Amino acid sequence: MSKKSRLYMDLHVLQTVPPSCVNRDDTGSPKTATYGGVTRSRVSSQCWKRAMRSTFEDALPSEDLGSRTKKIVELIANEVRLLDPLADATVVAQRILETAGLKIKSVEKGTDALFFISSAQTKALAKLAVDEPNTLAEKPSKEAKAKAHKALKESPSIDIAFFGRMVADDPSFNTDACSQVAHSISTHKISNEYDYFTAVDDLASDDTAGAGHLGTVEFNSATLYRYATVSVHELHKQLGDDTEEAIQHFIRAFVCSMPTGKQNTFANRTLPDAVLVTLRTDQPVNLVGAFERPVPVSDDGYVAPSANRLVAHAKKLYGSFAPLPVVSLVVGEALAELGKVQQLEQLIDSLGVEIPKYLGNSGVR
């Protein structure tokens, strides 16, 4: 693939999160990372991608999305029942999945690992099983296997296209992710803190001393640098004419989502302080190097100096190693030097005009 045939969308976000425990490790502590020799607050990519998928669920009908589950047999069986109420739906579902090439432990247990399947793939498999009973034979023909495999491979949902699908049993079912989401880290050094709390028993007798419950919860607060990139040309190969709408949903989900960890305890849902979105035709460029040297605390807090660092680093990087983006748009005045400042919805509309300039009917021009 030539350089001219590539199109990448990079998203850079600065976002301040107050005292919170957004993403915990196995001990219940907020996740951290060492970067630039100091401890940073961290939110894993998996955590934020799950929050994005939840945002997709709020914005899109279930028919346009996928399900990640081991109970794939029941998903197919539900569709079989709609097509043929008299069929032994669970048996039919298990047989057609096995014909497609998946290993099913049992109807109840399903697959060994979580399987990501789109609603369209679920319906296609069920229809194939009902319309062509020969696909359910104990020893199906090569043609039957090919049809079942095709039904389970084609028509990925928007979330499968963005986040990919990995199937250890049969790599031919793998779907390459068209997006990458980095672990978010604080632009500065952090130290975790502890909240010691007590709870009172409302029905305790008057002569009862002390609390009904004692506990601690660990937390920190941070200004985070968040980064994601989308291979737009690869997304177009999977979604075709739905690419632009998918991009719009991805931007909104990445910018506006928030993981739900300890949300009821801290009410830490915030929106970004600044957003930079670029289109590039060479390669994705993560600007986290702006914060390898941690931002020191100042009277201006962390957002303003973090934004200054990001602007300076981007200019240096673009001047030395990477060409300027073909499009650079900004939400928030803090990053105004890097692109045209717009409201989020205006930015999304602008990209809707720019992206088609680089896409053709059969891929990328």
Q: What does the pLDDT look like over 64-105, one tens digit per residue?
A: 999 999 999 999 999 999 999 999 999 999 999 999 999 888
State yes or no: pLDDT of 216 exceeds 60.
yes
Nearest Cα to 150, choosing from 169, 177, 172, 119? 172
DSSP 219-267: EEEEEEEEEEEEEHHHHHHHHGGGHHHHHHHHHHHHHH----TTHHHH-
Q: How confident is the model at residue 359 (pLDDT cuts 50, 70, 90)?
A: confident
pLDDT at 1 over 50: no
Residue 292 has pLDDT above 60, yes or no: yes
Is the pLDDT at 118 greater than 80? The verdict is: yes
Model pLDDT, residue 112:
85
Examine the domain organization and report whether 135 and 270 are in the same domain.
no
- Is 172 a domain residue? no
* Span between the terminal Cα atoms of the chain, in Å: 11
Find the range with the poorest average confidence among 52-61, 109-118, 310-319: 109-118
321-338 confidence digits (pLDDT tens): 989 999 999 999 999 999
| pLDDT > 90: percent of the chain | 82
Same domain, 200 and 346: yes
| Residue 164, in any domain of the structure | no
Instruction: With cut-offs at 50, 70 and 90, classify the pLDDT of residue 195.
Output: confident
Q: Residue 249's closest CA among 163, 334, 330, 327?
A: 163
Taking CA atoms, 308 is separated from 208, 300, 326, in Å, by 56, 12, 22
Query: What is the pLDDT confidence band of residue 3, given thresholds at 50, 70 and 90?
Result: very low
Average pLDDT in the chain: 92
> What six digits make up the tokens of 12?
């850079």
Confidence of residue 199 (pLDDT cuts 50, 70, 90): confident
* Domain co-membership, 30 together with 112: no
Domain range for residue 149? Answer: 67-156
Establish how many alpha carbons lie within 13 A of residue 221's alpha carbon, considering only the half-sphere containing its beta carbon: 14
- pLDDT value for 362: 39
Q: In this structure, is residue 141 part of a structural domain?
A: yes
271 and 192 within one domain? yes
Same domain, 287 and 345: yes
Is the same domain home to 184 and 325? yes
- Is residue 182 one of the residues assigned to a domain? yes
Number of neighbouring beta carbons within 10 Å of residue 216: 10
Residues 124 and 262 in one domain: no
Domain total in the chain:
2
Measured distance CA(7)–CA(279) in Å, rounded = 7
The pLDDT tens digits of the residues spanning 137-189 come to 989 999 999 999 999 999 999 999 999 999 887 889 999 999 999 999 999 99
* Residue-level pLDDT at 264: 93
| Residues 314 and 193 occupy one common structural domain | yes
- pTM for this prediction: 0.91
What's the pLDDT at 2? 43
Q: Strand 8-20 and strand 213-231: pairing?
A: antiparallel
> Is residue 166 situated within a structural domain?
no
**What does the alpha-carbon distance between residue 333 and residue 307 come to, in Å, rounded to a whole number?**
10
